[in-house]
Homo-oligomer: A and B are copies of this chain.
């Protein structure tokens, strides 16, 4: 008799962003004349750069000719793209240890962040800095590592709450807290905060001392503007012995609907199996990908490669500047009305709490119903996010201005 995975029954019915989408849909149906400004999900508004469109068309044409057709590619990704990543994103930035063999091309950060659970041994206890992207927790719960849900937590997962009173800085695990694998995301989603190299080094040192694995989600690294803030965890000493880094082209180049990213699993990353024998995570992840994945399409990998040309670099710079201008507008509008605001400087997310006693979903409803602005409720990222909302800089400049003007009447909203 087939029995379904009980963990699906234990996760809350809906995914955060589905709940948000449903509320927006209901509001629009009830208020067909109102113009909702979407500042909730982290989707982008700028189209694909011209050089990317050209690369896709060129690659599609290649696929239409026998002599240049590409069938199955390597599951790890084509060498041309792995090499471009290793050279541009690592070696040329002074990170020497990373080469093409350490890079695995993916169909996006979400898949890899969730699928990395396949390489965890049984009994591995995850630790998550919250508020956090829900996929870290949900994917572990589905895999049976959640334990018992209690009061917005899971007994099988160590929660490391980053709180407003410490500017949402992540606390290292206390003594006695088990953190076999640690999810870190910087620049942070949802708070938009960043870690200095000093602070990041402390996490790496902790992981090395405790033989923990860090899964470092740096999907937003291109948004860092403050000098000295590390763009990669491999800027910290010893990180190539304890960390996997996950990145995406979604937010830098508008690839949310193209689906491409990459994951760095250094060959120097060595742990053990339960029987004490050595386990190269690079080899294991490669085997996982070869068994359960068939690689990213050729046309998509050529599109990503175009981002490593001078035109592609320039397009990313333009995109990032555009969205960060939006984020700066949002920041000052919110500061102007006396809200507590973090983020929006080295990240496209602005995280704020208006002067109000309302909880996140109440704030969300007010902002939607009174200003027709959609946001993401902070509590959706963990209970320490309650009372906060996340806005994104990913909308157009015009609609962001309009949103700021609506926000200036905040007294009418909250």
Q: Residues on A close to B: CB < 8 A?
A: 1-6, 8-9, 11, 15, 18, 41, 43-50, 52-53, 56-57, 60-61, 63-66, 68-73, 107-108, 110-111, 114-115, 118-124, 135, 138-139, 142-144, 180-181, 210-213, 254, 256-259, 271-275, 277, 279, 281, 284, 287-288, 290-300, 303, 396
Contacts and interface: CB of A to CB of B under 8 A. Distances in A.
Nearest to A255: B297
A107 B107 contact: yes
B60 A107 contact: no
Given A11-B287, A44-B71, A114-B292, 11 more contacts: A2-B211, A3-B271, A5-B122, A8-B273, A47-B63, A47-B65, A56-B299, A107-B107, A258-B298, A258-B299, A299-B299
Given A124-B2, A259-B297, A296-B259, A139 B66 contact: no
A213 B279 CA distance: 34
A274 B138 contact: no
A376 to B, nearest CB: 14
A117 to B, nearest CB: 9
A142 B122 CA distance: 12
A181 B5 CA distance: 13
Given A43-B72, A300-B300, A275 B6 contact: yes
A309 B69 CA distance: 22
Given A71-B257, A142-B118, A292-B110, A2 B57 contact: no
A257 B297 contact: yes
Number of copies: 2
Contact of A271 (B4, B47, B60, B273): B4
14 contacts: A3-B274, A4-B119, A5-B122, A8-B288, A9-B277, A43-B72, A47-B68, A53-B61, A57-B60, A63-B254, A66-B396, A69-B257, A257-B298, A297-B297
B43 A108 contact: no
A288 B212 contact: no
A3 B272 contact: yes
A273 B9 CA distance: 8
A242 to B, nearest CB: 9
A191 B9 CA distance: 39
Contact of A272 (B4, B144, B299): B4
A395 B120 CA distance: 40
A64 B48 contact: yes
Contact of A5 (B71, B72, B73, B119): B119
A71 B41 CA distance: 11
A395 B297 CA distance: 21
A66 to B, nearest CB: 5
B272 A135 contact: no
A56 B396 CA distance: 26
A294 B63 CA distance: 25
Contact of A2 (B63, B180, B293): B180
A140 to B, nearest CB: 10
A1 B4 CA distance: 31
Contacts of A73: 257
A107 B289 CA distance: 13
B257 A142 contact: no
Given A3-B180, A120-B5, A279-B9, A48 B69 contact: yes
Nearest to A281: B4
